[in-house]
Amino acid sequence: MLRQALLAASRSGGARRIMETAPFTGDVVRRFVAGETIEDALRVTEELSGEGLLVTLDVLGEDTSDKNRAEANATHYVELLERLGDAGLGTRAEVSMKLSAVGQTLDEDLALENARRVCEAARSSSTTVTLDMEEHTTVDSTLRIVQELRRDFPDVGAVVQAYLRRAEEHCTELAYEGSRVRLCKGAYAAPAAVAFTDKEEVDRSYVRCMKVLMAGKGYPMLATHDPRLIEIAGALADLHERDASTFEYQMLYGIRPQEQRRLAAQGAQVRVYVAYGREWYQYFMRRLAERPANLRFFMRSLAGRS
């Protein structure tokens, strides 16, 4: 119930105004958000790369309902990718992009056109793009766009959310050679008809999906902070004789940084999901909803300022 309440608050204009104007919010948000500018993103990317970690950068700002705004968001991604290339970070950092930020809400063809521009910039900077998965109502559209982009950009990453009941089916369809697939639990509200609502059910779905991906010929990107799931992933890698170059772990910026470094020190590939930008509210609320530990951290910060 708490998770659903937080996800509902992520859509509330009133709750957003309170959070954005509260004097204590900035310090807490900075734990999960790298900053507001491309310079902030590059600085954090260089820091993480220097510690042996990979990076994926997300420009915050989704649910765009204006064509000009969608095109501006795509242009921002192009600039970010050019800056990554100029800084020599293309081999260490990719970008994650929400299609709703580049026009999916308005028109699927518009989103495809803008995403294609971003993919071209990524190729020029020797890196890649992963298309984030969002609300359950957009899954089919997003997978269609992934399929179309992969005709020219086969390294475009797809995302599967384990909390959705069709997740295992999607993993089976995507586990082919060269296919980059991020598996995450999912951080959006969805009805029980299409999604598992019990944490244990979501975990079991995640393991089933992980088994499919690790047994397949693609490149799994396992997005989890759960120690049990990380341990199972390692066992599956041994079972299928996968070396560290054939899959990676992914974790969020600001969450379990010591574990990120521990895994990297052991030779694993670990990619940190780094979000930046002024439109941080929805992203931040989903981070609180995902893990009780995040909410406890937030509440302790409030108590410390009272």
d(CA 261, CA 284): 23
Q: What dihedral do alpha carbons 252, 253, 258, 264 form, nearest 10°?
A: 70
Q: What dihedral do alpha carbons 130, 135, 138, 144 form, nearest 10°?
A: 20
Q: Could you give the 3-state DSSP secondary structure of residue 165?
A: coil
Q: Could you give the 3-state DSSP secondary structure of residue 183?
A: strand
Catalytic residue among 182, 256, 271, 287: 182
Beta strands in 29-154 (DSSP E): 54-59, 93-98, 129-132
Tell me the angle at which helices 281-290 and 25-32 cross, rounded to the nearest 10 degrees. 70
Catalytic residue among 132, 180, 256, 291: 132
Residue 98, strand partner residues: 132
Task: Name residues whose C-beta falls within 8 Å of residue 270's C-beta, 6 or more positions apart in sequence.
Answer: 52, 53, 54, 248, 249, 250, 251, 260, 261, 263, 264
- For the question of residue 132 being annotated catalytic, the response is yes
Catalytic residues: 132, 182
